[in-house]
């Protein structure tokens, strides 16, 4: 019996920003611990509700992607693991993961899903 994920994931400890899509002033610095074609897992200090529309951005590659919170699990008193599903995640994954994929319109300053 197969257990686990069937898609490639990149483990990382890069910093990123998780921002509320409806309330731009609500944002926090998070640690991006894993990323795949369809989403990411981040560790932050705030609780995010399931279904919340967010923007995940990474300053290293200067790219942002629209996403939706799929889970938020408290890991410690002020640490939460947040899983987000990308709207168009394969482009973010390719940019961040350095997979060498050629996507029209991708690159510095790109906002995906807007």
Pair type for strands 27-36 and 63-76: unpaired
The domain segmentation of the chain, as residue ranges, is 9-99
What's the alpha-carbon Rg for the chain, to the nearest Å?
14
CATH classification for the domain delimited by 9-99, as one of 2.60.120.560, 1.10.4080.10, 2.102.10.10, 2.40.10.220 = 2.40.10.220
Phi/psi at 48 (5° precision): -120, 130
Question: Tens digits of per-residue pLDDT, 2-40?
Answer: 455 556 777 888 899 999 999 989 999 999 998 888 889
**Contact assessment for residue 21 and residue 55, using Cβ atoms and an 8 Å cutoff:** yes
pLDDT score at 94: 61
Neighbours of 100 (CB within 10 A): 6
Let me know how long the chain is. Answer: 114
Pairwise CA distance, residues 56 & 68, whole Å = 10
pTM: 0.75
């Amino acid at each position: 019996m197969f257990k686990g994920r069937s898609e490639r994931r990149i483990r990382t400890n890069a910093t990123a920003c998780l921002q509320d899509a409806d309330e731009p002033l609500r944002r926090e610095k998070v640690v991006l611990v894993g990323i795949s074609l369809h989403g990411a897992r981040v560790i932050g200090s705030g609780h995010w509700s399931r279904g919340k529309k967010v923007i995940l951005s990474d300053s290293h590659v200067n790219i942002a992607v629209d996403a939706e919170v799929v889970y938020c699990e408290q890991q410690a008193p002020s640490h939460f693991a947040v899983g987000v599903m990308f709207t168009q995640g394969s482009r973010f994954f390719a940019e961040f993961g350095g997979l060498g994929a050629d996507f029209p319109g991708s690159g510095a300053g790109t906002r995906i899903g807007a």
